[in-house]
């Protein structure tokens, strides 16, 4: 399996809804899950049934593997690539109890660590040292700005205002995808779909022009001696998984994998929303499902499964990618 990194530069604001918080249009996420990315890919090629089923089959059989979208920034001509901070349980015995002030300081540092959402891939390689470093130095760069725009619903008898949240990335920042391919034909297939997605946009409110992107650079192959520090780190994390592993996709475990999941530290996230059909201007609400959130940690990787969502109100089956993609994480 050869892995490539695709850095996306967004030309317009993006609206990545967060249905885990109730699906309010003002509530948005910085990143996008691999299941939603896969759904967008399927939607754009749904007019070609043969191509659609070839793509679904390739992902289901892990001839194509996809990560969720994560933030990056460019600093001094170097790509700094961020991954989710691992979901772990901090041991209370590590908190020194020499004095009340020391305990307060340790607890405050612990809370700062828990608030960290993303860390650089190269820092994940030495996560123990990262945890022990000065908490005041644990920060993320500014990838962009959250905004709220006022819009008007003209469909009813009265015009009613509503608000939509969006995220505007800085010129030096964006999101990246890690994609692995069994052979070059699968890579060509994915890159063709990704090019179309950039033109039509990804995420919500695409009719308003949101979510359009282009590649910020040529696809970067992840090799052992990469041109950037974080590229090399991602290669090592993908290929060296002797101990605990961390999920970097939205994974839906099979019933047989649930006992393995329970041995780790994880969060479950709800997915809801609407689906559209190519050539149609209307959307239909689909059934909700749940995924293991990126950053969840397990003793061994979970394969996951492809979801097929059907229903009386849906004009066709809806596919969502619940296959897992895991990287090594160093901590005890």
pLDDT at 252 exceeding the cut of 60 = yes
Gap between the Cα atoms of 105 and 113, Å rounded:
13
- Tell the residue number behind the tokens 């405050």, with chain if given: 108
Report pLDDT digits (tens) over 110-137.
565 666 789 999 888 777 777 766 654 5
Question: pTM of the full predicted structure?
Answer: 0.85
Q: Which residue has the higher pLDDT, 286 or 141?
A: 141
In angstroms, the Cα distances linking 246 to 10, 124, 195, 240 are 27, 10, 29, 12
What mean pLDDT do residues 246-257 have?
Answer: 94
- Report the chain's mean pLDDT, rounded to a whole number: 82
Residue 332 confidence (pLDDT) above 60: no
* Tokens, residue 267: 């969060």
Give pLDDT, residue 100: 64
Q: What is the pLDDT of residue 157?
A: 66
Q: Which of 83, 61, 56 is nearest to 72 (CA)?
A: 83
pLDDT per position as a tens digit, 270-279: 887 666 555 4
Per-residue pLDDT, averaged over 282-294, amounts to 75
The helix/strand/coil state of 26 is coil
pLDDT at 233: 92
Helices 184-200 & 34-44, crossing angle to 10 degrees? 80
Q: How many CB atoms lie within 10 A of CB 46?
A: 16
139 or 268: whose pLDDT is higher? 268
Looking at residue 101, its pLDDT comes to: 63
Q: Which of 27-36, 58-67, 156-165 has the highest mean pLDDT?
A: 58-67
Distance CA(166)–CA(206), nearest Å, equals: 11
pLDDT tens for 84-101 read: 999 876 554 455 556 666
Number of residues assigned to the chain: 332
- Residue 280 pLDDT class (50, 70, 90 cuts): very low
Highest average pLDDT, of 186-200, 201-215, 271-285, 313-327, comes from: 186-200
Residue 304 per-residue DSSP state: E
Confirm if 290 and 270 have CB atoms less than 8 A apart: yes
d(CA 189, CA 268): 31
Cα angle 70, 76, 79; round to 5? 25
What is the rounded average pLDDT of the residues 176-187? 95
Residue 106 confidence (pLDDT): 55
- Give the SS3 label for residue 239: helix
Residue 140 pLDDT: 73
For the cut 60, the answer to whether the pLDDT of residue 147 exceeds it is yes
SS3 (DSSP) at 31? coil
Question: How confident is the model at residue 134, as a pLDDT?
Answer: 63
What's the confidence (pLDDT) of residue 74?
Answer: 93
Residue 212 above 90 pLDDT?
Answer: yes
The pLDDT tens digits of the residues spanning 310-324 come to 766 656 678 889 999
Q: Nearest Cα to 8, choosing from 152, 197, 164, 149?
A: 197
């Amino acid at each position: 399996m050869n892995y490539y990194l695709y850095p996306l530069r967004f030309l317009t604001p993006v609206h990545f809804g967060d249905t885990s918080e109730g699906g309010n249009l003002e509530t948005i996420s910085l990143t996008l899950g691999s299941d939603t990315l896969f759904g967008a890919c399927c939607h754009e090629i749904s007019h070609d049934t043969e191509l659609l089923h070839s793509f679904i089959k390739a992902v289901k059989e892990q001839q194509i593997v996809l990560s969720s979208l994560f933030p990056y920034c460019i600093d001094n001509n170097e790509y700094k690539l961020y991954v989710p901070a691992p979901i772990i349980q901090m041991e209370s015995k590590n908190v020194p109890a020499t004095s009340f002030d020391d305990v307060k300081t340790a607890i405050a540092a612990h809370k700062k660590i828990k608030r960290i959402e993303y860390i650089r891939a190269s820092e994940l390689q030495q996560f123990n040292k990262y945890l022990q470093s000065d908490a005041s130095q644990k920060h993320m760069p500014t990838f962009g700005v959250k905004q709220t725009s006022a819009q008007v619903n003209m469909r009813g008898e009265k015009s009613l205002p509503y608000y939509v949240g969006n995220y505007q990335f800085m010129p030096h920042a964006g999101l990246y995808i890690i994609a692995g391919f069994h052979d070059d034909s699968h890579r060509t297939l994915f890159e063709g779909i990704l090019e179309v997605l950039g033109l039509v946009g990804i995420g919500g409110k695409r009719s308003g022009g949101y979510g359009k992107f282009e590649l910020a650079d040529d696809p970067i192959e992840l090799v052992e001696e990469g041109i950037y520090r974080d590229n090399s780190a991602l290669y090592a994390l993908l290929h060296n998984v002797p101990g605990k592993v961390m999920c970097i996709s939205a994974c839906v475990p099979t019933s047989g994998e649930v006992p393995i999941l329970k041995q780790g530290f994880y969060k479950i996230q709800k997915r809801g929303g609407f689906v559209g059909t190519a050539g149609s201007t209307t959307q239909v609400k689909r059934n909700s499902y749940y995924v293991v959130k990126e950053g969840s940690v397990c003793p061994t990787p979970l394969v996951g499964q492809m979801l097929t969502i059907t229903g009386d109100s849906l004009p066709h089956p809806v596919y969502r990618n619940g296959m897992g993609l895991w990287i090594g994480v160093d901590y005890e």
